[in-house]
Amino acid sequence: MKKFIRLIWFILFLFGMVMFYITPVAVPNYVDKIYHFIGFAVLTILSISLFAAFFDKKWLNSFLVFLLIFGGAIAGIAELAQKHFSAIRSCDYEDWIANLCGIVFVTLFVYLVNSRQESNLELFEEKFDVESFS
């Protein structure tokens, strides 16, 4: 059931982001960058959560690399969509950089936490092995 709920949240947030990107809303430039960062950071968190729910965590690092590449492409496509589908909003490379920063920030954080957990498990296993031979 938790997998289904995560999938629903992901789809709803993705739909909300698409609607936000094509709505003709004008906001100050600096606020727009914050929205871009937060939106793609949350989308990345939901993507990682969904992946972790459906697949084993040992493939998480491979998914993070995929997420960086695919997320960068989606961020660029989202900016191009603004140019063609919204009258007020425009395609801006600074917005694309803000999107990428949100993706990279969350991905790097998850990678570091995952690496730390794996190293803690390895240290525990090594300590356990040494104690068993005493």
2/4 Cα distance (integer angstroms) = 5
Domain boundaries, the chain: 2-132
Number of helices (H), then strands (E), belonging to the chain: the values are: 4, 0
Residue 131 confidence (pLDDT): 54
Residue 107 confidence (pLDDT): 94
Residue 41 confidence (pLDDT): 92
Q: How many CB atoms lie within 10 A of CB 90?
A: 10
Mean pLDDT per block of 10 residues along the chain (134 residues) reads 81 78 70 86 88 80 88 85 70 86 93 78 54 54
**pTM for the model:** 0.74
Residue 75 confidence (pLDDT): 86
Residue 89 confidence (pLDDT): 67
Residue 25 confidence (pLDDT): 67
